[in-house]
Structures are given as C-alpha cells and as structure tokens.
A and B are shown apart, each in its own frame.
Chain A
Amino acid sequence: MTEWIRYVLPAAAIASVASPVYAMEYLSIEEAQKQAFPSATQFIAIQAGRIWKAEAGGRVTGYFIFDRVVGKHLYIDYAVALTPAGAVHKVEILQYRESYGGEVRSPSWLAQFVGKTNASPLKINGDIRNIAGATLSSTHVTEGVKRILAVYGSRLK
C-alpha cells in the first residue's frame, strides 16, 4: 500500500477559518406546533410564549411547551409536545447555537443573542452545514425534558 500523506498543521492556518458561532434554525414555534399536532385547529396559550394547549374541535389533543437550555455556551431552543395524559409525544430542537473561540466569555458578546426572536433569526457562517470531529452532548436538553415532565406532566391534565 502507498504512503499516507502527512501535513503539519501550522497554528495560524487553523485559526484562519475559526468560526465564532454556528447557528441553525430548524423550526419556528408555530411550525413546530403544527407538526406536533397536525389535527389541532387552535393553540390556546396557557402561559404566554411558553405553554399552549392544542385543541381540535373543542377536544384537547395535547400540550406544547417551549423551553430554552444552555448548550455548551449558548442557548438551545426546543419544544416538548405532551399527550393529553402528560407523556412525551415529541421533542424537537427549534434553534441551535454554538459558539467557538474565546470571545464567548465576554458578557457583551453574549448579549447580542439575548432577545433574538424568530423574526430576527441568527444566521452566521451559513456555509458550515455539517460539523464533525467532536460529539456535542445533548445532556442539558434531556435534563430540560425531564424537568418539564416533572413540573407539567401531571399538572396540565
């Protein structure tokens, strides 16, 4: 077999494509509601911007809860759809953000993400579509879903 090709990585060359933030918007809250409960005719807010009751013809088809957890450094927006009985029907990531590099430690840099809505989506480094090389942990989202179940699983019924 022929030889492996070898390169030495110069530190400067690596830094030249350093990406400050990777962000992906998957679904708006409204889109996620419709996909979680396709038969629902209306979504009634129980807690503004956070909890909705999905109804179809006056019958409850489930609950939709929007939540946000901190990922590695930045917020991950996700939604949990619950069945009328309070069980998890679906968990969807709505927006994913991840920062790179040292600038995340600065509060002013972080402040630019506060209050971002779906009307002003974050789209930076759109050419980076797929990231590989280190697994991102979804632990915080998993814990968030458990917390939502603990708080709302029985109370919403």
Chain B
Amino acid sequence: MAADLNRVRRARPLLGTFVEIEAAGPVQAEVISAIDAAFEAVSIVHTLMSFHDPDSDVSRLNREAFDQPVKVHEWTLDVLKTSIELHRRSGGLFNVAVAPILQRMGLLPSPDDAATGGRRPVLDAVELLERSMIRFRHRHAKIDLGGIAKGFAVDRALDALRGSGSLASGIVNAGGDLAAFGAVVQSAHIRHPRDPGRVVCRVDFANEALASSARRFDSFRSTETAVSAIVDRDGQTPANAIDGVTVRAPSCMIADALTKIAMISGTDAGSLLEHYNASALLITSDAEIQISPDWQNAVHLAA
C-alpha cells in the first residue's frame, strides 16, 4: 500500500454499541467526509429499525401492520425480505417475530397492553405487499430486527465508504460485527464469550464480513450464564450448549443473521452456511472450538 495514504479512524455511539469506522485514501478531507457519510448511513438504519423508538419503521409495523398495510423505507424492506428468506431456509429457526418472547424474558421493553405477554412467536407473520407495503397476518405479531439490522447497518456504512470513490480501503466495526473492503487483509480478535478478557483466536478477512453472537454472561452478577437473547427452536427457551459463534459471509447482514441460526443448530447449519457462501466458528459450552471445513486457513488459534 502506498505510504502517503491518510488513515482516519472514528467512533460514535450508535445501535446501542460503539460503531468504529476506519478508512484510508489519498485525500484526508475525502476520507473524513466518506466516514461522516458512513456514520450517517448507520444512523438512518438505527432510526428506521429501532425497537425502542416509537417513530421507527419497526414500531409503526408493530403498532399498525395488522390493522392496515404500513409503508416502509426501502432499507427496512430489504431487511424484511432477507429475514423472510432466512426464515424459510432455516426451517423457521430465524424468526424476526420473537419480540413477544424477548419482552416476556425482560430483554425488550413491554408496552402497556398485557396482551403480548406469553405468546409463542408467530411463524410467517410478515407479509410483503406491493409498493413497499407490509402487513402482519396475526394480531399479536411483533417483530424485532435486532438479530439482523446491525449487520445491515454495517453493510450500508461500507457502501458509503466504497461509494465515495477515492478510498483505498475501509472497515466498519459495529460492536463486533465487521465488514471491510480494499486490498488490505484485516484481522479481528475473537473474545471468549465466558471471559471477554481472553482472546480465543484471530481471524483474517478481506472484502467480506464477520459477525459474532454469544450467550450473555453477566460477570457483575455471577459466573453462571445470564439468559440468552436467542430463542431455541421450540420458540420458548433460550438457546444453550453453544457459547458463541462467529460467522464469515459476503455481507454483514447475512453473517449477523447466520450467527443466530448457528447458535441454535450448531454444525447442522453447515448446508445453510454453504448456500450463503459463509463459514462459522463455534465455541461450545465444553470449551471446544469447531470451525467449518472451508475456513481453517483464516483462523489462527491462540496457542
């Protein structure tokens, strides 16, 4: 790489985490404005897909989409289309309609009406209509895009960097969901889900995305696990047995969503990973690491 590239690295609090963007290019002012545009893209995704913001597309859908079709932003539509495809291809494992269960578990705030509590997630709850209109098939359906929107935001930010034209390379890291472009091999250190102070391995990647999911361990309370935000296939209980998953995929949206499926189905997710040209690294509860066959060269274990 040329020595006279300007490298700029910035971080802002977005999507409930720290989004960090680094880019390099010949003109510093262009690098900075590209990074600003990338943060702006993340901010738009945040505004559209927040479960907590009453004006977001997600909140409008959850309030109104059973009673009448709701028009959404094209980015929200993209995420819903991919969610529905993943729902189908994963045999229902990936499901954005799990919000009522997460509310019952205390992981999402509950609205005033008690009618949402205690219900199982509704399968195939979301119907795509013409002209970016969405309708819910069930009265109590509620969606949460938390399992996929962060990856999508990373993709949009990377698009903004790439679209600026003059940059040599760029990387976006939204709290561990990353994507990079350019002729630079990037590396990410994967932390142990049970002990975030320890690095399990280093993963090298270029022009692709990485996403990780883990069971939630609340180190302030006890060494026992806190409840996972990932719900098992019976739609009721938190997924266990796998402590953490890292997935490599061409896009961060796909990588993000596939981590949720691999948390539940483990190595059974193999054919789905292959379909999306993705790879996975699993950390099991009994301290075993499992790496999908095509990915061992990029993973450097901490030995």
Contact A130 B199 (CB under 8 A): no
| Choice from A9, A96, A134 contacting B288 with Cβ under 8 Å | A9
Chain B residues positioned under 8 Å from A134 (CB to CB): 176, 191, 193, 196, 212, 214, 244
A74-102 vs B, CB cutoff 8 Å, 1 = contact: the mask equals 00001000000000000111001001111
Bound form: Cα–Cα A40–B190 in Å = 42
| Choice from A4, A129, A139 contacting B292 with Cβ under 8 Å | A4
Q: How many residues of B contact A (CB 8 A)?
A: 54
Contact B18 A93 (CB under 8 A): yes
Chain B residues positioned under 8 Å from A137 (CB to CB): 16-17
Contact A4 B199 (CB under 8 A): no
Secondary structure of the B side of the interface? strand
| Choice from B188, B190, B196, B302 contacting A13 with Cβ under 8 Å | B302
Contact B197 A128 (CB under 8 A): no
A2-B293, A133-B212 are known contacts. Are A7 and B193 too (CB-CB below 8 A)? no
Contact B271 A14 (CB under 8 A): no
Interface-side segment among A17-25, A41-49, A58-66, A114-122: A17-25
Q: Which of B17, B32, B203, B271 has the most CB of A within 10 A?
A: B17
Contact A135 B291 (CB under 8 A): no
Contact B175 A135 (CB under 8 A): yes
Contact B178 A130 (CB under 8 A): yes
Chain B residue at minimal CB-CB distance from A2? B293
Sort A-B residue pairs by CB-CB distance and give the 10 closest, nearest first.
A100-B197, A133-B191, A138-B13, A93-B11, A132-B176, A130-B188, A135-B175, A101-B197, A2-B293, A133-B190
